[in-house]
Amino acid sequence: MKKNLKVTASNNQRRLDNYLFYQLPNIPKSKIYNMIRRGEIRVNSSRAKPSTRISTNDEIRIPPYLVNTKQHDNKRKYSTEIISNFRKSIIFENSNFLIVNKSSGISSHSGTKQNFGLIDIARSCIKAEDIDLCHRLDKDTSGCIVISKNKLFLSHFNKLLKQRLVGKTYIAILCGNLKKSFTINKSLSSTYVKQNKRSILSSYGKQAYSEFFPIKQYKNLTLTRVKISTGKLHQIRAHAFINGTPILNDKKYGYKIKEHGNFDEFRRLALHSQEINFFDKKGAEFAFTSTPDQAFQLFLDNFHQI
């Protein structure tokens, strides 16, 4: 690996941090951020911010001690079970993207507490040069997630997200009895509470819009359909908490066993990305649906017995 990276046309106007995450998959994201802030990583010999947009032919200076770091660990080995489960989770695939039904319990990307994420598995399985996440789902949220196979589609999808032209529908089990639909349009900003990152109400935050539609109720729980047009950190979870109806098993956002009940047979976060739809660059519409995992589906099937 060279000391400098030259930005190709396919990475034009990409954020510096996202570019480096892909180029340096073996380096923790926290370390990359620290190197940028300390000026160890520079763009055209100048200091930059993680959010800096890089351009074609820009020179990205990499610290000398990273020269021998493997740029892409595509040969990383995963168990047969992991590979098999990933391939089974693919709902759709073409030359530009694939749709995966992500399992609860696996992160979208690797982190300090996660050695690998969905995107790492995808890069080891899919034959394409530029495999990237188009958006993210929380570790414990399951369902539809879009993975790009080239930078042109990634750029197109990012534009759709900014224009709020990606339709996302979730199903969630909320604690409490919802009698009617409601909408929350509250700005959220991320912060750390007891070393855990979460979203809170903030007039200085970014707009987040969520619509909640009750489907059916049993005792103190309500199966709910949720539609969002924005995608902020923990948006649905935070908005459900703000409404006083936290998502079942979401201990980060208000769920307490003493208040809402203990369900030993169902311990995962009760949130699933059920549908996603969007248009490609040629104007063709794509719509995909994913089914919840066996544990979630069994809980739903026995909902009337709770």
Residues classed as catalytic: 138
Residue of 112, 25, 120 whose CA lies nearest to 66: 25
Residue of 210, 161, 220 whose CA lies nearest to 186: 210
Cβ distance 220 to 261 under 8 Å? yes
Q: Is the sign of the CA dihedral 267, 210, 230, 194 positive or negative?
A: negative
Question: How far is residue 94's CA from residue 118's CA, in Å, rounded to a whole number?
Answer: 18
Long-range contacts of 73-78 (CB under 8 A, 24+ apart): 73/25, 73/26, 74/123, 74/124, 75/124, 76/116, 76/120, 76/124, 77/124, 78/116, 78/121, 78/124
Residue of 34, 197, 36, 28 whose CA lies nearest to 111: 28
Q: Indicate the pairing of strand 285-289 with strand 59-61.
A: unpaired
DSSP single-letter state for residue 15: B
b/e string for 167-197 if b means 16 or more Cβ within 10 A?
Answer: ebbbbbbbbbebeeeeebebebeeeeeeeee
Structure tokens at 250: 């979401």
Question: How far is residue 19's CA from residue 162's CA, in Å, rounded to a whole number?
Answer: 19
Taking only Cα atoms into account, the Rg of the chain, rounded to an integer number of angstroms, comes to: 20
